[in-house]
Amino acid sequence: MTAYIIRRLWQMLPTMLGVVLLVFFLFNWVGGDPAYVLAGKISNQEQIDNIRRQLGVDQPYWVQLWIFVKQIVTGDFGASWSTNERISSIIFTRLPPSLTVLIPLTVLDALIAIGLALAVAYVRGSLTDRAVMIVCTVGLSISILVYIIVFQYVFAYKLGWFPVQGWGDSFWENLFRYASLPILIGLAVGIAPSLRLYRTFVLDEINQDYVRTARAKGLSENRTMWVHVLRNASIPIITNIMASLPGLLIGAFLIERFFSIPGIGREVILAVERSDFPVIKAITVYVAAATMVFNLLADLMYKAVDPRVQLK
C-alpha cells in the first residue's frame, strides 16, 4: 500500500509539470496583456509600461516561468492584481463558504441518488421505472438558471422560508439558513443525472452470475441488493463522485453568484472579469492538484470497498 502511494505521488510530478506549462503558456500567449486591461481606456504607453514593470510581465518568458514554478513550490502566488489581497488569503477565506455548500450537497446527492437507484432497480422495467426515467430526462433538460429563478421566487419570495442573499460568521447559521436553498437547488439539479448513472451501474450488476447464485442460495432480495450488488456497483459510483469533487468548486459559480456566497466559484468569476491572472492561475493549479489527489483517494477507496482489488 505504501509503495503504491509513493509511486502514484511520483507519477503526479510529470502530470503536474504538464499542467504548469499549459497554464503558463495559455495565460501568457493567449490571455493577452493584462496591463492594457488594468490601465483602462484612458491611458498612455508610459502608464502601460509602468504597470507591466510592476506586474513583472515585462520579464523574459523563462524568467516568468521560473517565478511561477517557485510560487507553486512555496505556495505563495503573491497578491491579486486587482485588489492587492494576498492570493493565499483569498483561497483560505473563500474555500470554507464553498465547502459549506458543496460537502452537504455531495453527501446528500450521493445518498439520495444511490437509494433511489436501488429502489428503481427493484421495479426495473415497470411503469414506475419508466416514469422515473422520464422525470430525470425532463430534469436534465432544464437549465440551472431556471431552477435558481423558480426556487428563489417560490421558497424565498413567496413562502419566505429562506433568504436570497447573505453570509455570516457562524458556521451553523450559514449551513442551515443561507446555504439551505443553494443546497436544495443543487440537489434538484444533480440528482437526475446521478440517479440515471447509478441506476445503470446497479442494473449492470444485477445481471451478473453472482447475483443469480446468491438468489439460488436463498438470500433475500434486500440482502442481495444492499450488500452484494451495492458493493460491486460502488466502485464506478466512487469514481464518479471523486472525479466530480474538484470541478464542483468551480462549477458552483452560478449558485455562489446568484446567492452572493463568498466562495471560490464566485471569486473565479470576479477574477475573470478583472483579468486577474494570478488568482486564476493559482486556483487552476490547486484544482489540478486536487483532481490528482482525489483520484488517488478513489483508488484507495476501491481497496476498502472490495478487497479483491489489487493496487499495482
* Domains defined for the chain, CATH in brackets: 2-74 (no CATH), 95-305 (1.10.3720.10)
How does pLDDT run across 266-303, given as a tens digit for each residue?
A: 888 888 777 777 888 888 888 888 888 888 887 777 77
CB 228 within 8 A of CB 214: yes
Distance between CA atoms of residues 115 and 124, nearest Å: 14
> What radius of gyration, in Å, describes the C-alpha atoms of the chain?
24
Three-class DSSP category at 151? helix
Global confidence as pTM: 0.77
CB 290 within 8 A of CB 246: yes
Going by the DSSP 8-state scheme, the letter that residue 217 receives in this structure is T
How does pLDDT run across 37-74, given as a tens digit for each residue?
A: 666 655 666 666 676 676 666 677 777 788 788 888 88
Distance between CA atoms of residues 241 and 286, nearest Å: 18
CB 183 within 8 A of CB 102: no
What confidence tier does 34 reach under pLDDT thresholds 50, 70, 90? low
Instruction: Report how far Cα 95 is from the mean position of its chain's Cα atoms.
Output: 12
Q: Whose grid coordinates read 463522485?
A: 241
Which residue, among 124, 115, 126, 184, has the nearest Cα to 154 in the 3D structure?
184
